[in-house]
Chains A and B, each alone.
Chain A
Amino acid sequence: MADRLTMPQTAMPAASVRAPSVDIYAPQWRNFMFVAPFLFFFTTLLVVPLLWGMWLSFHKADTFSSGNFVGFGNYIRLFHDKVFLQSVWNTFYFVLLTVPALALIGLFLALCLNRRTRTAAVLRTLFFSSSVLSVTIVTLIWRIVFIPNVGLLSTIYGWFGATAPAFISDPSLAMIGIAIATVWWCIGLPMMLFLSALQQIPQDIYEAAALDNASRWQTLRSITLPSIKRTFILVVIVQIVLQFQLFGQAWLMTRGGPNNLTKPIVLYIYDTAFRRWDLGMGAAASEVLFILILIAAMAQYLVTRNNADRT
């Protein structure tokens, strides 16, 4: 098979004096040059820090020196630390709050805006526009909304003589406040992914359904949703991986408070490694996060592979 592919297809004349043909698919070391720049940065910026992080997590290290080997000491301290366990729970809770909301609202918006009208185009741009903002701007906007006494929410509640919920300081509401800001910020990407999936569904299926007098609900359930199932899984997994890395919103809106109830794992890592200078333990917490995200990424791989097998 490979031989047939490498048969010379041009230069038929003068075949007798021709040098033996070169197998263009054979490995050649100079091809390495094409990927070398990428590999260089991939290795120095990702692989080395990854291995270095693992090495650090087994050492008692601070920001200015790497000390003794402590084995699993940092990990043992980590799992005895209530604040770390709290931050793991917080991260899962945040993912639970945001990912379904992002997937469902994103799908809903995509379904509503999947039409060729000018209004839909304007609204698509509008809903996507929040995604281009930096986390600093997003949190600033939402702080202005949530801030007690003078914030937008307080002003609106004030019109009705009511007190606005304290989204920044109430223990039961603080994470929900961060989740609201995050959904508003991140909704653009899921919506766009769903839109592109919706536009790939062949129109003739819908036409056939229309001929069969299928209702809109039946069409949605039997045609639209099954057709975008893989995109739905993709959106969910991508968002899980992204939202696991919550940091900026929590740091800028609540500083992880009240009572560490909005402190996610990344903020715990930052606190431990850079504010307490306990780099070894910070590295250990990073490894735990790495494993959690790895599991989510593997889940995506497994789910999409199984899906591909079935279809």
Chain B
Amino acid sequence: MFRLELRRLRVQPLAWVLLALSLAWLGWCFTRLLGDFLAGEIQRAALPDGPGYVDLVAVPLLGQLAQLAFLVVPLLAMSTLAGERRNGTLPLLFAAGLPASRIVLGKYAVLLLWLLAWLLLTLAMPLSLAHATTPDWGKLAAATLGIALMLAALAALAVAASTFTAHPAIAAAVALLLGLALWTVNLGAQMAGIDDGAINWLAMSTHEQNLLRGLVSTADILWFVLLIVVCLALATRRLAADKERG
């Protein structure tokens, strides 16, 4: 399943176009952030505990990637299972004796591989100048972990959305809306000045921002893991029900 999906993704023009466009945008963001960083270097020299290269270049760049992910991940994942259903190839996978869980996990793993490559290519930009600065490696590692978890969660959400329809465009729209809803679910509470409670716990932004600030906590990691597990379990159940229903 993994090799079949990898091959399918590799020959999809959309995957390459998304990769090229998003990296071009991130490259431009990187040069802009670097320019600002260099321009403010003299003022920051007067502040012993002022923000450094990671705070002003690397983390904001990863933040840009996170924003793009809301659009890129649904577009990339929309055909994973909706495409199989549209092509009529899903029964071929069932008839090969593959359990629904293996189909879902195979597709999810390939998606993760692509997203990991995307993250590493983005990370390569700030890392290419790391030797000339004194980066805060701990903060960079925490931010990278946060983005990796967020990508994995959005991918799981998009795969789940893709199992519920035969139309990839609908799957992409649903994944985009659900992703944005999860990010902004606590917007009202924050505007009212409420910083705790269930609504804030539910929001992806609460957990992501902690990690981007360099604060790694088990609770935040568990939130992402929980979301991934729930989405993949839903996708597996839906696919297994497809076999039952026909």
Please say whether chains A and B are actual partners in one complex: no
Which residues does A use to contact B, with CB under 8 Å? none
Which residues does B use to contact A, with CB under 8 Å? none
